[in-house]
Structure 1
């Protein structure tokens, strides 16, 4: 079940003050819109579980990583559990965290097209058979391709 935050929190809490309370894009960015949060989610999707793994993979400072893990856990994107060794805690994606996969994939694919020069080497996301993941193309219920020119926002009333 999605977590609904309905109040403006105190500045020391992990809850956000909504930038634009009626906009799903703004609320999402309030929760995961900084560089480090998305990189932590990316690495969790790629199997990182421990504080040390997240720090090694991202190069993030310990204090910032502590803050992001706390925030992502507080907002239900990550959960803490006892590691199989029983000696430490590890972080795992929740259903809400897994639901960010299309977002991470779309950012990756945008980066492949626009953040590298032609022929420049970069990592590739592949499926379980080693086949590169196809590009995401949004389509309407009737199969028509969707884009900014063919959609609009219907404001909340």
Structure 2
């Protein structure tokens, strides 16, 4: 069965899902962000097959989300976030905030975020880039953009 190519759709959500829409990719990005940059570390943490991890890493490297950097002469590589990848981590942080609110249960969130600038434990929050006010789905209108189909 052939997979739908979401990357060809005139929708930024669909295009993003084409890059990270299967379940392993966000978890791989989470691990790299958390400092697990080597193949063996990720495989052990995720319990993922070598074949699937190799495919996902190649996909993320091919889309400019991760970059391979050699760390010995064999060659072996570690994976680091590119600028694109670091921005995707921001999306994952918002997903985490939702999961912490609605799914963490009695135990509470499994991870806390300490903000470098103030040193306080905080949570990610979506804000308007113009006025700085909090922004939610109930606070916006959807309008056709320049890339909308005609």
Count of aligned pairs between the two proteins = 143
- Confirm or deny: 8 A CA contact 2:68 2:77 kept in the other structure: yes
- Alpha-carbon shift at residue 90 of structure 1 (Å): 1.6
Matching residue of 2:84: 96
Greater helix proportion: 2
Question: Does the residue aligned with 2:113 lie in a helix, a strand or coil?
Answer: coil
- Alpha-carbon shift at residue 20 of structure 1 (Å): 6.1
Tell me how far apart the structure 2 counterparts of residues 130 and 86 of structure 1 sit (CA, whole Å): 39
Cα RMSD for the two superposed structures: 2.4
Provide closer, same or farther for how the CA distance between residues 98 and 31 of structure 1 changes in structure 2, counting only shifts above 3 A. same
- Runs of 5+ in structure 2 lacking a partner? none
Matching residue of 1:29: 17
Greater strand proportion: 2
- Confirm or deny: 8 A CA contact 1:78 1:94 kept in the other structure: yes
Question: Does the residue aligned with 1:138 lie in a helix, a strand or coil?
Answer: coil
Provide closer, same or farther for how the CA distance between residues 55 and 141 of structure 1 changes in structure 2, counting only shifts above 3 A. same
Kindly indicate whether residue 60 of structure 2 is the aligned counterpart of residue 59 of structure 1: no
Tell me how far apart the structure 2 counterparts of residues 137 and 115 of structure 1 sit (CA, whole Å): 19
In the superposition, the TM-score normalised over structure 1's length comes to 0.78
Moved more, 146-155 or 25-34: 146-155
- Alpha-carbon shift at residue 19 of structure 1 (Å): 6.1
Provide closer, same or farther for how the CA distance between residues 17 and 121 of structure 1 changes in structure 2, counting only shifts above 3 A. closer
